[in-house]
A and B are shown apart, each in its own frame.
Chain A
Amino acid sequence: METTPFILPFTIGLLFISCFLVIIIGIWISSLSRIDKSRIIHSILTKKSWFAIREIVMESLLHRKIFRKNPVLGYMHMSLAFGWFLLIVVGHIEACNHYQTFSVPAYMAIFMRYFVTEPSTTLSGKILSASMDLLLLFVLSGVVLAYYKRANSRLFGMKKTTQLKLGDRIALISLWLIFPLRFLAESVSAGIHHNGSIISHPTGELLASIFPVHSFEMPLWWAYSGALGLFFFALPVSRYMHIPVEVVLIFLRNYGIKVQKRIGGYSRIQVYSCSRCGICLDSCQMSHAAIKDTQSVYILKHIRNKNLTDEKLFNCLLCGRCQPDCPVGLELNNLRITQRIESTKEYNSSYEYLKNGKIAVSPQTEVIYFAGCMTHLTPAIIKSVKEIFAVAGVKYWFMDEEKTACCGRPLMQVGQYEAAKKLIEHNRMQILSSGVKKIVVSCPICYKVFNEDYALPGIRVMHHSEYLLELMADKRLPINKLPLRVVYHDPCELGRGSSIYHQPRLLLDEYVELIPIKNEKKTALCCGGSLANIKIQMNERNQIRDTALDEYLAYQPDLLATACPLCKKTFTKSNKLPIHDIAEIVYMAILNKMDIEINISTQIEKANADKNLRF
């Protein structure tokens, strides 16, 4: 087969990138834990691999998730990824067809229009070269959109686009040049030899009639090959590493591998899989407080570039709003927590003083009630829960009525897992020694940690919204629908954090009129009060809170319901509308039903005015 010197930049680049990828992915996979490795070995020949391949086609090639978010952006990604993929595949088929063999070297397929000077005579050859022309046009349409996106990103429904560093810039420019150069080179060759297909033929003839195309042919093919080679060399230091790494990620994820509490091969694969599409920027409410450089895309970039500072790492609410939007499906919260563990691992407290304290043992009761630190700052919630329990005749032990250790979750959110374990063990012993089968908590932060990190065999952890719903279903609570229009605010730790979306709504439906809103459940807003962010300032929190409240106020609710003492405390400070926990609303409705002379509106006013209740 023929060859020519201009294939060198491409061939060397391809060799380089292939070796590089094999080595780096090999290193990552070999650093997985033994359990993860056995997961791979046991899944590789199962249908999980098939699911992974299907996902790769749907997401890495067709970009279905980006399509759903924004069709123009989706088309751009799809034309580049799927179009290029087809160019490679169909190009190979075309070359094999022409040379009548089953394998040709890569450069033969890529530069075939240079080597083949006669027009294709067979029908299959004609169809193949026409499809190649159309595919190139398809990819070029994506490139044009990409140019346009850099210049003006509003068309793509995104407010901001990410900043570039040198490696990215080289890769981006070479990527932008590859396809126009290919088009020109192929057209010029077609013009010289009077061959080509439906698009390259007329373009070639046109170019040949205007320019001295003979002197352009070699430079164009060199430039095309050079752009390809440059792209391959820039790939490892550019964001386009996500193209090969995402494929590995999808396989590993389908095999059941998850981000661990330490930095390892899989967390690196996740970091490198970020395409810096910037979709996560749009869902982040911190931009409402003009915090614009600590969103997930930047954190992942800093992890990759090894220049992540604590100021950025800890400036995130861990609200998880960006996570469902990420088209690559990265575990953004876990990645951040892993990084926080690493950053704070030198100074976990040991809480020796807990060992001296007596462990309180409960009398035999039906349930344990654990209010949590935050709920102690909103006594109206505790009062309501106590009163409801009295009405329903629930026998309970109020575990943290006087004093107890924090649940440990606030420590975990800032990465202090070792310290949190000490608090968890302390509380866990008390819970286990009580012999109770149910623990009811008022705070979603406690709820999440009790559920996920306290090993409590045989004990059911329930948020009070779940428990009250159960009491209601058992007819232990009177039902009384109040004529109030209510918006329900999903707390991050209860909603996205623990997937409790329906129970609070079912409960509220019985007692008030619930208004459906745009940003609820998975896309619910954060109140801005999250303990996970230790860098944010109070005025910035207030801005996030007020923007969220304004959105709720547009529905003109009589009151805002939530199921978290921290959300309540955060929102209450704004004085924009009455805020109540679900327990308070249920208690209010019961009081009203019980005909104790309480007028609902004065009750609401009272609750808001009464410093004691509000604190």
Chain B
Amino acid sequence: MKNFGYSIIKQRTIDYDQFDGRLLNEVLEMEPSFKVCLSCGGCTATCSAGDLVSFNVRRMNLLLRRGETIELESEIQKCMLCGKCMLVCPRGINLRNVIMLIKKSIAKYKPINS
């Protein structure tokens, strides 16, 4: 990577040479409505699982877009599929399908050495 003279926190870097967007692409292809998320946080504010445990639907989106598949896998398990997020979403995003798609496909895209 080219050195621009900034200091970088290693864990938070996304190395685009290593970026794995396969899961993201699959999810966006199967559920295109997720493309229009404006990160308003409505889903997170209403989330039933978020009431009981630290769980943030919007962060799930972030993990997915950053290709952080391993962390995403443990996060996504927490959703109870209650459907509140879908009802409050101003963009009408079909979040339950996003979650089911990730749950179903994630095993395919996990890094092998994890």
Question: A-side interface residues toward B, CB under 8 Å?
Answer: 310-311, 314, 344, 346-347, 349-351, 353-354, 357, 373-374, 376-377, 402-406, 408, 410-411, 414, 416, 423, 531, 534-539, 566, 569
B97 at the interface (CB under 8 A from A): yes
B33, B79, B94, B100: the one contacting A344 at CB < 8 Å is: B100
B24 at the interface (CB under 8 A from A): no
A416 to B100 alpha-carbon distance, docked (Å): 10
A116 to B27 alpha-carbon distance, docked (Å): 71
Give residues 19-49 of B contacting A (CB, 8 Å).
30, 33, 46, 48
Q: A373-B48, A408-B80 are in contact. List 11 more A-B contacts (CB 8 A).
A: A347-B106, A349-B78, A377-B46, A402-B51, A406-B82, A410-B96, A411-B81, A534-B97, A536-B94, A538-B33, A539-B92
A423 to B53 alpha-carbon distance, docked (Å): 14
A405 to B48 alpha-carbon distance, docked (Å): 7
A376, A403, A535, A566: the one contacting B97 at CB < 8 Å is: A535
Chain A residue, CB-CB nearest to B92: A538
B33 x A406 contact (CB < 8 A)? no
CB distance from A291 to the nearest CB of B (A): 14
A376 to B50 alpha-carbon distance, docked (Å): 14
B52 at the interface (CB under 8 A from A): yes
Complex A-B: 10 CB contacts under 8 Å: A344-B100, A347-B106, A351-B77, A374-B84, A405-B48, A410-B82, A411-B80, A423-B80, A531-B96, A535-B94
A248 to B58 alpha-carbon distance, docked (Å): 52
A403 x B77 contact (CB < 8 A)? no
Chain B residue, CB-CB nearest to A415: B100
B88 at the interface (CB under 8 A from A): yes
User: Given A534-B96, A538-B94, does the pair A351, B80 have CB atoms closer than 8 Å?
Assistant: yes
Query: Cβ of A423: which chain B residues have Cβ within 8 Å of it?
Result: 80
**Size of B's binding interface in residues, CB under 8 A:** 26
Query: Cβ of A535: which chain B residues have Cβ within 8 Å of it?
Result: 94, 97
User: Given A376-B84, A410-B82, does the pair A534, B100 have CB atoms closer than 8 Å?
Assistant: yes
B104 at the interface (CB under 8 A from A): yes
CB distance from A309 to the nearest CB of B (A): 11
Chain A residue, CB-CB nearest to B93: A538
B107 at the interface (CB under 8 A from A): yes
Per-position contact with A for B84-100: 1 when CB-CB < 8 Å, else 0?
10011000101011001
Chain A residue, CB-CB nearest to B100: A534
A354 to B51 alpha-carbon distance, docked (Å): 11
Chain A residue, CB-CB nearest to B102: A347
Query: Cβ of A350: which chain B residues have Cβ within 8 Å of it?
Result: 77
Chain B residue, CB-CB nearest to A356: B53
Query: Cβ of B106: which chain A residues have Cβ within 8 Å of it?
Result: 347
Chain B residue, CB-CB nearest to A357: B52
A534 x B94 contact (CB < 8 A)? yes
B33, B83, B107: the one contacting A531 at CB < 8 Å is: B83
| Most central of B30, B52, B80 by chain A CB within 10 Å | B80
B103 x A347 contact (CB < 8 A)? yes
In the complex, the 10 A-B pairs of residues with the closest C-beta atoms, listed nearest first: A538-B92, A403-B51, A406-B82, A353-B53, A406-B80, A373-B82, A349-B77, A534-B97, A531-B83, A347-B103
A536 to B86 alpha-carbon distance, docked (Å): 12
A537 to B30 alpha-carbon distance, docked (Å): 12
B84 x A537 contact (CB < 8 A)? no
Query: Cβ of A373: which chain B residues have Cβ within 8 Å of it?
Result: 48, 82-84
B48 x A406 contact (CB < 8 A)? yes
A347, A410, A537, A569: the one contacting B104 at CB < 8 Å is: A347
B46, B51, B78, B83: the one contacting A410 at CB < 8 Å is: B83
User: Given A403-B52, A405-B48, A538-B92, does the pair A416, B83 have CB atoms closer than 8 Å?
Assistant: no
A357 to B80 alpha-carbon distance, docked (Å): 15
B94 x A405 contact (CB < 8 A)? no
A538 to B88 alpha-carbon distance, docked (Å): 12
Query: Cβ of A404: which chain B residues have Cβ within 8 Å of it?
Result: 52
Query: Cβ of A310: which chain B residues have Cβ within 8 Å of it?
Result: 104
A349 x B94 contact (CB < 8 A)? no
A407 to B69 alpha-carbon distance, docked (Å): 29
Query: Cβ of A569: which chain B residues have Cβ within 8 Å of it?
Result: 87
A193 to B107 alpha-carbon distance, docked (Å): 75
B52, B83, B107: the one contacting A405 at CB < 8 Å is: B52
B97 x A377 contact (CB < 8 A)? no
Give residues 61-86 of B contacting A (CB, 8 Å).
77-84
| Most central of B30, B79, B81 by chain A CB within 10 Å | B81
Query: Cβ of B100: which chain A residues have Cβ within 8 Å of it?
Result: 314, 344, 414, 534
Query: Cβ of B104: which chain A residues have Cβ within 8 Å of it?
Result: 310, 344, 346-347
CB distance from B70 to the nearest CB of A (A): 15
Query: Cβ of A531: which chain B residues have Cβ within 8 Å of it?
Result: 81, 83, 96
A538 to B33 alpha-carbon distance, docked (Å): 9
Query: Cβ of B81: which chain A residues have Cβ within 8 Å of it?
Result: 406, 410-411, 414, 416, 531
Query: Cβ of B30: which chain A residues have Cβ within 8 Å of it?
Result: 311
Query: Cβ of A314: which chain B residues have Cβ within 8 Å of it?
Result: 97, 100
Chain A residue, CB-CB nearest to B89: A538
B79, B80, B87, B94: the one contacting A377 at CB < 8 Å is: B87
CB distance from B27 to the nearest CB of A (A): 13
User: Given A344-B100, A531-B83, A534-B100, does the pair A353, B51 have CB atoms closer than 8 Å?
Assistant: no
Chain B residue, CB-CB nearest to A349: B77
Query: Cβ of B53: which chain A residues have Cβ within 8 Å of it?
Result: 353
CB distance from B64 to the nearest CB of A (A): 16
Chain A residue, CB-CB nearest to B76: A349
A350 to B80 alpha-carbon distance, docked (Å): 10
User: Given A344-B104, A350-B77, A414-B81, does the pair A377, B88 have CB atoms closer than 8 Å?
Assistant: yes
B107 x A346 contact (CB < 8 A)? yes
CB distance from A286 to the nearest CB of B (A): 15
A353 to B77 alpha-carbon distance, docked (Å): 10
A406 to B48 alpha-carbon distance, docked (Å): 7
| Most central of B48, B53, B84 by chain A CB within 10 Å | B48
Query: Cβ of A406: which chain B residues have Cβ within 8 Å of it?
Result: 48, 80-82
